[in-house]
Amino acid sequence: MAFFQKKADIQVDMDHLPQHIAIIMDGNGRWAKKRGLPRTAGHAAGSETFRTVATFAKDIGLQYLTVYAFSTENWKRPPEEVAAIMNLLEKYLHEAIDRMARDKVKMAFFGDLTPLTPKLQALCHETEEISKGYDGCQVNICLNYGGRDEIMRAAQAYAQACVEGRADPHHLTQEQFGNWLYSAGVPDPDLIIRPSGELRISNFLLWQCAYAEFYYTDVLWPDFTKEELLKAIASYQNRSRRYGGI
Ligand code: FPP
């Protein structure tokens, strides 16, 4: 068993990592406010944290990392803030394209990308296209994503397939329904992390979180470190998952 032990209080069994970790990257605004900075500075710091955490996740051999970058409700924020988040995403995707051949990280997007600028949509499709053959770590970015919206769209598409005779509702299974979701083919998250002290799910992966373990911490997302990720994994490894059994 390979153990990672950076500090005496974090002990992680690297041979039994969760397969899929999902993160609600929360607390950027409060991080900025504490420093007398504009909220956009918090998002810029949060996107640096995302880089660090995604790189670390790849390096330790995590198979799937999903992050909540922009929800279907985040359009209610001031336009400057929305634009700043979109710009950070654009910047990140440009960099990701440059590094892809080296890093071999597979990128995917969960959400309806059509309201995004054509440039950002093109970058999303390009990163997905370039990396679709990679089989190492997969990073899913939830963008204009909402769990209810995802389930509703899946139900609409499925109902349409039934009307057209391509699907039979009497034979629908949970596995099959999962294939109509943005996350088709991706195993459910084992561990969902929410920093910043909020104890909500906020419309994140509602279908997929059925048996996820939750980890909450007061640390704000821009202050989240590799050690914080290891702490979350260590906490996960100390739980007993029973999936409704005994
Ligand atoms: C929530 O914190 C954070 C967001 C809505 C945006 C997250 C976006 C990024 C980290 C940057 C871009 C992402 C990538 C993948 C490069 P909040 O603003 O609600 O914080 P608060 O609750 O403290 O106000």
Domain membership flag for residue 244: no
Q: Is the pLDDT of residue 18 over 90?
A: yes
pTM: 0.96
Q: Is the pLDDT of residue 5 over 80?
A: no
The tokens for 68 are 């909540």
Q: Are strands 138-145 and 3-4 parallel, antiparallel or unpaired?
A: unpaired
Q: Is the pLDDT of residue 227 over 80?
A: yes
Domain membership flag for residue 9: no
Domain membership flag for residue 170: no
Domain membership flag for residue 79: yes
Three-state SS for 173?
coil
Domain membership flag for residue 83: yes
Give 122 Cα–ligand 1 centroid separation in angstroms: 22
> 118, 140, 119: which is closest to 62 by C-alpha?
140
Domain total in the chain:
1
Domain membership flag for residue 151: no
Q: Is the pLDDT of residue 151 over 80?
A: yes
Cβ–ligand 1 distance for 222 under 6 Å, the answer: no
Q: Looking at the CA of residue 89, tell me the nearest atom of ligand 1.
A: 16
Residue 213 lies in domain:
14-146+188-235
Condensed to tens digits (0 to 9), the pLDDT of residues 27-58 reads 999 999 999 999 999 999 999 999 999 999 99
| Contact of 138 with 66, CB cutoff 8 Å | no
Alpha carbon 21 to chain centroid, angstroms: 8
Domain membership flag for residue 220: yes
Identity of the amino acid at 116: L
Confidence category of residue 7, pLDDT binned at 50, 70, 90: low
Higher local confidence (pLDDT), 135 or 175: 175
To which residue do tokens 């597979």 refer? 106
Q: What is the mean pLDDT of residues 82-109?
A: 95
Residue 208 sits in a domain of what CATH number?
3.40.1180.10
Condensed to tens digits (0 to 9), the pLDDT of residues 156-170 reads 999 999 999 999 999
Across the chain, what does the average pLDDT equal?
A: 95
Domain membership flag for residue 160: no
Among protein residues, the one with the nearest Cα to ligand 1's atom 5 is 70
Whole-angstrom distance, CA of residue 94 vs CA of residue 79: 22
Rg over alpha carbons for the chain, rounded to the nearest Å, is 18
